[in-house]
Amino acid sequence: MLLVDAPSLYFRAYHGIPESAAQTDAGEPVNAVRGFVDMVATLIRTRRPDRLVCALDYDWRPAWRVKLIPSYKRHRLSPKGGEEVPDGLVPQIPVILEVLSAVGIAWAGAKDYEADDVLGTLAKRGPGPVEVASGDRDLFQLVDPHTTLLYCGRGVAKLEACDEAAVQAKYGVPASSYADFAALRGDPSDGLPGVPGVGEKTAARLIARYGSLDAIVQAVDDPSSDFAPGLRGKLAEAMDYLKVASEVVRVAVDVSLPKLDVGLPLSPKDPDELLRLAERWNIAGPCRRLVDALVAAAD
């Protein structure tokens, strides 16, 4: 099964292709659509899945996460509320979903949850093997013997297939501890402050020594535990944050989702609609490459 973090990829596509380089005859930007469809085609062609789902953000900043850490993604709020999304990208997202539906590729989101949570639920539901394509580091926590993260930090063409050994080598912690590690280190892109003065190396050492964030919190309260000079104080000052951070960072794996037909289509579900969309939005090339990838994957 291939699980695609759709927002991660279409934001990357939008910023990677200038609006001026991909437009309709009327001047409407379709750079995100073209880039996203080509990324999905590349993933199908290179990974050859037999099941495929694209996950969506139905709630990019869930209230239950914000209640625990008010700074969560606050820097990405627009002045009018909601996520700050480029004006040129907003009308392209429905077009992407129309293309997926015409092709017959499943997509899903869940109320009060992010795309990460949809991906986590589908990955744990299985059956494996599962590959998750995303540029979001938080999803390293999903890696296990049956799940690989196709990390697209440098783009789909240069993705890194990360298994448990790769996560351990990259961060010095097992994938199962990545959420606790990320909570300690913090992540400015998500508005997570972390513990001031605790970087990746110190976070990894703490996880290696104590095993979990809960155990670290307990050790801070234990006068007999041995910490490097000043470290206990830094952790103690961040205690309110540490007690809730893991819950915010940890990807949900029990989200209620609609029944999905996850099988990779062998041909477009609605070829006439796909042709209409290709002509209307000037995306004939990407649509043809996507269909070619489906045919190749079926062979």
CA dihedral 222, 72, 10, 270 (to 10 degrees): 100
- CB proximity list for 208: less than 8 A, separation 6 or greater: 172, 173
Q: What is the pLDDT of residue 147?
A: 97
Regions of the chain where pLDDT drops below 50: none
| Angle made by CA atoms 125, 62, 217, in degrees to the nearest 5 | 80
pTM: 0.94
Which domains, ranges and CATH numbers included, belong to the chain? 2-173+255-298 (3.40.50.1010), 175-249 (1.10.150.20)
In this structure, are residues 196 and 234 in contact, taking their beta carbons and an 8 Å threshold?
yes
| Cα gap 190→182, rounded to integer Å | 11
The half-sphere exposure of 228 on its side-chain side, counting CA atoms within 13 A, is: 9
Q: 81 - beta bridge partners?
A: none
